[in-house]
A = this chain, B = another copy of it.
Amino acid sequence: MSEQTPLDPAADDSRGLPDGDPFGLPEGDPFGPHNLPYGVFSLAGEGDALRRVGVRLGSYVLDAGAAAAALGSPYVSLLARPTLNPLLAAGRTAWSDVRRALTAWVTVPAHRDAVRPLLHPLSDVTLHLPFEVADYVDFYASEHHATHLGQIFRPDAPTPLTPNWKHLPIGYHGRSGTVVVSGTEVVRPTGQRKAPADSAPVFGPSVRLDIEAEVGFVVGAPSAHGTPVPLADFREHVFGLCLLNDWSARDIQAWEYVPLGPFLGKSFATSVSAWITPLEALDTARVSPPERTHQLLPYLDDSAESVADEPGGYDLRMTVTLNGQVISEPPFSTVYWTAAQQLAHMTVNGASLRTGDLYGSGTVSGPSAGQYGSLIEITWNGRDPLELPDGKRTFLEDGDEVTLSAWAPGPDGTRVGLGEVTGRITAAR
């Protein structure tokens, strides 16, 4: 077997990786040993009881707990588990140590024989929700997205952004119980809607079902109730990130949201990718956030000396496809409020963090056409339908499948792939 052999499971009856170094992975694979995102998997036919932590390598999944056991590693207690939560709770030093160990297991030739049988082709595994979600918060951190929605819904307002927008990252709590893993079908939600011309609300399946292309941040280490988490402590608490699709029923949301915010228009489903990329894999993707146009209060001011050497943005190049057609490429680097600012804001009132807290960036939209993260922006509230091979779209139709994917600049010209998040709409029940 040559080093050029692709990662074809059929080519290797040991179900491991072909020969070569590092283990024969094609050069430049976005899921190479520089990435190593975490998920939870089981093998076909095993059932839920055998869920366990997996680490993605190319188009394979390493049974991480089994590898730890085979190699006599103490991290078996963090990795031979049915969710990522024990690893998440272990804290930053442990995250680094485990990642260093994993890197060695998949790159040092001496480990090859032990590790190879523990690599399973992606096509053989079922991927599960990788962690137990504690609280789920969704922000509204993209200036371009917020501006577009202001232009659509408040065309006569003096400015498209609300007066608070540049002073704090606006957010709200969502439903953690309906966060689902990529691949889960999304049932079209039913509910009340009322157009201005309607005399009374109408009940039925949503007719304005939308996507929101987002990045989700996963909290590992908890914080004490009553004590804010400063900007500089972001990486002590946040383990990694995922892609997130915050499905939104615009018609349900429009009727319900005054005065207490979105509720049923969002709570039916939120999809996350099966792979959580540790922040350590994204050090080469860090960038400064957009220039701040307002003086920020100290707890949010990331121009301060103590944090300015840790740029808070991430250069994630996102792609949105609808039934396989690319419909948008939102640039995460254009998001105004950083994940560190969101964390500092979320806790400034003393709210505590728990292991498994998840917070979304809000829809990621760039300034230009082709960079919008929701259909309401892409079609400008339905005015400019998308032309797809199977017809026009304003909002989602039953059977439509939406996939978010992304990559970030890695070391030495490589790419760091993020796990995709996909979901197909099924008819209302």
Interface residues of A (CB under 8 A from B): 134-135, 137, 140, 162-164, 167-168, 170-178, 180, 187, 189-192, 194, 200-201, 203, 225-228, 249, 252, 255-265, 267-269, 295, 297-299, 345-346, 348-354, 357, 429
If A134-B176, A163-B194, A177-B351 are given as contacts, then 11 extra A-B residue pairs at C-beta distance below 8 Å, sorted by A number, are A164-B194, A168-B255, A171-B263, A172-B260, A176-B176, A177-B357, A190-B348, A190-B349, A200-B295, A227-B429, A264-B349
Q: Choose one: B172, B180, B295; the contact of A172 (CB below 8 Å).
A: B172
Cβ–Cβ contact A192 & B171, under 8 A: no
Cβ–Cβ contact B258 & A260, under 8 A: no
Alpha-carbon separation in the docked complex, A269 to B352 (Å) = 9
Highest count of chain B CB atoms <10 Å: which of A263, A264, A297, A354: A263
Cβ–Cβ contact B226 & A173, under 8 A: no
- A134-B177, A177-B134, A350-B268 are contacts. A192–B168 as well, Cβ < 8 Å? yes
Cβ–Cβ contact B261 & A259, under 8 A: yes
Alpha-carbon separation in the docked complex, A380 to B325 (Å) = 56
Contacts of A249 in B (CB 8 A): 349
Cβ–Cβ contact B297 & A201, under 8 A: yes
The 7 residue pairs across chains A and B that have the minimum distance between CB atoms: A261-B261, A189-B349, A187-B226, A173-B173, A172-B260, A264-B349, A268-B349
Cβ–Cβ contact B140 & A260, under 8 A: yes
Q: Choose one: B177, B180, B260; the contact of A354 (CB below 8 Å).
A: B177
Contacts of A353 in B (CB 8 A): 177
**Nearest residue in B to A297 (C-beta to C-beta)?**
B203
